[in-house]
Structure 1
């Protein structure tokens, strides 16, 4: 990722900050030997989650625009310039993502925007996902439902208005919750498909982990609790109770995954027992890898 920045970036006024988020062995001394002194390396001794790691970098960043990118991405020519241009010419844009394609399948789209959320089901769709890129979405520059957490550029004033990402989510849904708060602060969420970044995420979904099952379900409920009306919440609760709950329990049974059943129940219980603004993670820190 760092090599791709140096190879393709031509934007002069750039500050690079790298966060190590709880690796078992501190890699930062070797990083400092291998990379220019102009890069700021920060280490958290423990894993503080997706939001926590990004927020740690934001706390020392000095720029007017902050570009959060996953370490399993690679830049392309003009990426930063294309996003900066949109923020420069349209002050209502609070946060923006580029088009994302799979690194191992570079003609396949991962993200070209999101539809708006259906608050009754807490479901939406990723535009262009798994489609071959023939430029069919390159005209979509403008508002979209949500950015993608793998690559998102936000203006400082939007952070000042909406706050940083909520660290209680830890993993999954935190960037969507952030977008809701940014929208509530009268900023717009945009996609710039003429900007491109490659993501080294697999196109295939592997075996489900207990950690993923817990946070996906806990945070799906939490997102609704934090971001919609009471009427929508009750419709969602009914949908979740009558459709999602029996469907998931049956699926876990068929897959012979009692471990996922316990995580699913744990996710529901967390939301019953804790306030929507709780700081209680609900997952043993020693189990988080």
Structure 2
């Protein structure tokens, strides 16, 4: 029986994380499971209380905020599982979730990553994710399949390869991590799982969807639906992703022109229309970072404190 390490990262959302843990205990019946919670330098440190409340869970406290990738990578270093199941702390488990994903891994050794079907927690019949189309590297666009549709089982037979996993819930084969490496920590927030997805594909593995497995997602709890932090990293990392994964220098050049002459004016107009003060400057800062920093630079270009 293969072992599974469930890994999640908490950042100033201890109550949300406790709801996740309660859902894991209530629904997970896969015996060979360990749970790892990484606290990413939350202002209030909940780890001592958690260690008493949940003595069978591994808790790790980082004294600096390492971002999504860095926090999860800390969990990887402590994990013993054959399969590592990365879940956002704002998700909630359903029955057979882990078993269904493990079955995919067990039966298909060429699969390096697999995600379940995702529904919105506050609209429990509505889909957020039932797979992704492949990336258009010229525009850095792809489509989330099924998003905002009522789930009537229309994608339940789509088990198999997909363009991308979903970072809110992704099971990854340890061997794939060994070959492709850990998530790139210089993304800090957003696009790191898509970057990892491409690196694991290039390491020779497939990426699958298993729609018979289901998880619920509360979405954007830690960052918020609209914030300067989110806007900066979404733009910065969109450019960074292309720099790290586009198939050629020509592709990168075409994308840069598209981003500067199409995306940038459109976004600035939207910021002004919606009254998002300071967002235009953050967009320009995101572009400038990519023009002046190496694609592996650990300088985030954004004050986190």
User: Which TM-score band applies after superposition, normalised by the shorter structure?
Assistant: over 0.9
Q: Distance in 1 between matches of 2:285 and 2:182?
A: 27
Is it true that 1:237 corresponds to 2:237 in the alignment?
Answer: no
Q: Distance in 2 between matches of 1:142 and 1:45?
A: 40
Is it true that 1:212 corresponds to 2:230 in the alignment?
Answer: yes
- Give the match's secondary structure for 1:253: helix
**Residue 241 of structure 2 corresponds to which residue in structure 1?**
223
Q: Distance in 2 between matches of 1:173 and 1:31?
A: 30
Match of 1:75 among 64, 68, 93: 93
Where do 4+ consecutive residues of structure 1 move more than 4 Å? none
Match of 1:150 among 135, 145, 168: 168
Counting matched residue pairs gives 284
**Residue 272 of structure 1 corresponds to which residue in structure 2?**
291
Cα RMSD for the two superposed structures: 1.5
Shift of 1:256: 3.4
**Residue 68 of structure 2 corresponds to which residue in structure 1?**
50
- Give the match's secondary structure for 1:18: strand
Match of 2:265 among 238, 246, 254: 246
How has the CA–CA distance of structure 1 residues 262 and 17 changed in structure 2, closer, same or farther, with 3 Å as cutoff? same
Shift of 1:241: 2.0
- Give the match's secondary structure for 1:243: helix
Q: Distance in 2 between matches of 1:253 and 1:150?
A: 31
- Give the match's secondary structure for 1:16: strand
Q: Distance in 2 between matches of 1:109 and 1:248?
A: 27
- Give the match's secondary structure for 2:163: coil
- Give the match's secondary structure for 1:74: strand
Deviations 1:177-208 (A, max 9, x none): 000100100000100000001112279x9762
- For structure 2, list consecutive stretches of 5 or more residues without a partner in the other structure: 1-19
Deviations 1:40-78 (A, max 9, x none): 011111211000111010011011100001111111110
Q: Distance in 2 between matches of 1:38 and 1:202?
A: 28
> TM-score, normalization: structure 1?
0.95
Q: Distance in 2 between matches of 1:231 and 1:129?
A: 32
- For structure 1, list consecutive stretches of 5 or more residues without a partner in the other structure: none
Match of 1:115 among 121, 128, 133: 133
**Residue 284 of structure 1 corresponds to which residue in structure 2?**
303
